[in-house]
Amino acid sequence: MALEAGAPRLDLDDLIRRAQGLEADRSRARAAVARVWLSAAAGAAAVYLLSGPLLGPFGGFVFPATAFALLVWALLRHRAVTKPYREAYKRRVLAPLVEAVLPGFRHEPHAGLPQEVYLASRLFPARPDRYASEDRFSGAVAGVPLTFAEVHAEREHEDCDKDGCRTEYVTIFKGLLAVAEFPKAFSGTVLVYPDRSERLLGPLSQSLQRLGGRTRGLELIRLEDPGFERRFVVFADDPVAARYVLSTRFMEALRGYRGRHGPLYAAVIDGTLYLALPTRADLFEPPPLWRRGVDVRRLERYAGALATMRAVVSELDLDVRIWGARALSSRRPK
């Protein structure tokens, strides 16, 4: 695994030793989880066998209710008995990793970015029906304040057929959401998406790209860089401001970043930069309880995600401070 130039050297062997030192904690957590689910299963079986003889016709109602209650209890107990192991892993393995890749950054495992910050980015128009955020990191790289966290935003979807309707949750965005301050009090909104983003943006993207009109005060912006336009689509409330923000150097940085790291979504709103980097899995969780040994790939994935945040600052030239005066402090997430 290669970290960016200038990043501190990651002592992977030391992290492996730290993870191996938690084997006893993992074994205890695994045994506790097994006891929880065996107890739930035994309780459900006992109720099933006794509900008929003891309760007669009411047994058909008692068993499902009891089974559901036992399931809820087991899920809550599962989380409770594994919490010490999860916290020990983050404290003894993840914390030193963070310090190696992002020196001076503060990691708050149980804190996240408020939903208001997610909405303030304006990157995903659909308001989530279910929102979660955790593993918040905050600090500065090259003097640029940077905060990021894992975010999972979902919308409720009702699927109906001849057998009835079912409610399910569909992911709007899952990944890292980063907030950095530009040094200029820029007034306006510029949104940058990977091209072919209709699935995430829905009617907003479709109508703007098809008609070139205005929706929600935003206009599809045509730029003079064909290479950038093949990879991104830009919406803004002011074409002049959009071209001011998207300087040649900044567009080159965005294009290069996407080529090296994959899709990213960017917004510049009133002097604040929001970056959304999609991921598939929860990045900062310990390996499964049932997996023996050390998951080296998971450790490398942790470090890679953190190094990506360093790359956000260096590759997008935020430390160059080409924008001037300080950004609006009111946008900084608490």
- The confidence score (pLDDT) of residue 326 equals 38
3-state secondary structure the chain: CCCCCCCCCCCHHHHHHHHHCCHHHHHHHHHHHHHHHHHHHHHHHHHHHHHHHHHHHHHHHHHHHHHHHHHHHHHHHHHHHHHHHHHHHHHHHHHHHHHHHCCCCEEECCCCCCHHHHHHCCCCCCCCCEEEEEEEEEEEECCEEEEEEEEEEEEEEEEEECCEEEEEEEEEEEEEEEEEECCCCCCCEEEEEECCCHHHHCHHHHHHHHHCCEECCEEEECCCCHHHHHHEEEEECCHHHHHHHCCHHHHHHHHHHHHHHCCCEEEEECCEEEEEEECCCCCCCCCCCCCCCCCHHHHHHHHHHHHHHHHHHHHCCHHHCCCCCCCCHHHCCC
pTM for this prediction: 0.71
pLDDT attached to residue 209: 44
Residue 210 has pLDDT above 70, yes or no: no
Average pLDDT rounded to a whole number, residues 62-81: 84
Highest mean pLDDT among 21-25, 311-315, 320-324: 21-25
Judged against a pLDDT cut of 90, whether residue 61 lies above it is answered with: no
Q: What percent of the chain has pLDDT over 90?
A: 6
pLDDT band per the 50, 70, 90 thresholds, residue 318: low
Average confidence score pLDDT of the chain: 76
Q: How confident is the model at residue 296 (pLDDT cuts 50, 70, 90)?
A: confident
At residue 245, the pLDDT reads: 79
Residue 186 has pLDDT above 80, yes or no: no
Mean pLDDT for the stretch of residues 264-268:
87
Looking at residue 4, its pLDDT comes to 42
pLDDT top residue among 17 and 161: 17
Task: Say whether pLDDT at 229 is over 60.
Answer: yes
